[in-house]
Amino acid sequence: MNNIQENNDENPRSVHSTQKCYVRFVNMTERTVEIMWINFIGQYVRYRILEKGNFIDVNTYKTHPWTAKDFLTKDELHIDKRFFYHPKTTREFIQLRYPDRNNYPENHEARVRAYITLPMYSLRFLSLLTVRNHILKEDDVEQLSLPKNISDDLKRAVTKRNRECSLQALSRQL
C-alpha cells in the first residue's frame, strides 16, 4: 500500500510510517514559496513560508507527501522536478544517485536536498498566467478581444486563482 500511495499524485495524502526522512527544502526561485505538508485526509497544511534563496530543514516520514506553491499567485511549483515531493531516506537517495556502489552505510542519516523550482511551462500557458496576473475578476476577461478557447482558459485560471487567494490580497498585488 505504501508504494501505491507514494506514487499516487492524483489524490496525495500521508500514510502512517515509521521510516524517518530528513529533508532540506531549498527555494531556488525568485518567489516567496509556501511549503505544504499533505495530511492523512489529503488536506494541504501550510508548514512554512520560504523566501527566495532560503532553505528549511524538515524531519518527516517516507510516506508523507509535500508540495510548494507561489505565496502570492498560488501557482504550483516543482520540488525536485515534480509537483508532489515524496521523501526518500538517505540510503534510498544514495542508492538512486550512485547505483553502482555496493556498500551503503547502515543507519547513516543526512539531509536530502529537495530543490524548489519553477516548472517548465509552454509559452501559451505562461502567457495565460501573465495575463491572469493583471485581471481581478473572471468578468474582466470579457472585455478582452480574445479567441473563445483562450478566453475560456483565462477565465478558468482567474477563477482557480481567486478560489485560492483572497481578493484583498489580489487587489494589493495588482
What's the pLDDT at 32? 97
Task: Give the pairing type, strands 112-117 and 20-27.
Answer: parallel
- DSSP annotation of 76 reads E
Angle at 14 between CA 11 and CA 17, to 5 degrees: 145
Q: Is 4 exposed, middle or buried (0-12, 13-18, 19+ CB in 10 A)?
A: exposed
Q: Indicate the SS3 state at residue 70.
A: strand
Does pLDDT of 153 surpass 90? yes
Q: Provide, rounded to the nearest whole percent, the portion of the chain with pLDDT above 70.
A: 89
Does pLDDT of 113 surpass 70? yes
Does pLDDT of 2 surpass 60? no
- Poorest-confidence range of 10-24, 71-85, 95-109, 110-124? 95-109
Confidence of residue 118 (pLDDT cuts 50, 70, 90): very high
What is the phi/psi pair of residue 24, to 5°? -120, 105
> Listing from the earlier edge strand, what are the strands of the sheet with 44-50?
44-50, 33-38, 66-70, 76-79, 112-117, 20-27, 55-61
Query: Model pTM?
Result: 0.79
Q: Indicate the SS3 state at residue 39.
A: coil
Q: What is the CA radius of gyration of the chain?
A: 19
Task: Give the pairing type, strands 66-70 and 55-61.
Answer: unpaired
What's the pLDDT at 105? 67
Average pLDDT, the chain: 87
Does pLDDT of 5 surpass 60? no
For the record, the C-alpha cell of 115 comes out as 530543490
**pLDDT tens-digit readout, 36-81:** 999 999 999 999 999 999 999 999 999 999 999 999 888 999 999 9
What's the pLDDT at 8? 55
What's the pLDDT at 171? 47
Does pLDDT of 107 surpass 80? no
**pLDDT tens-digit readout, 82-106:** 999 999 988 888 888 888 877 766 7
What's the pLDDT at 170? 46
What's the pLDDT at 94? 84
CATH H superfamily, domain 2-117: von Hippel-Lindau disease tumour suppressor,  beta domain (2.60.40.780)
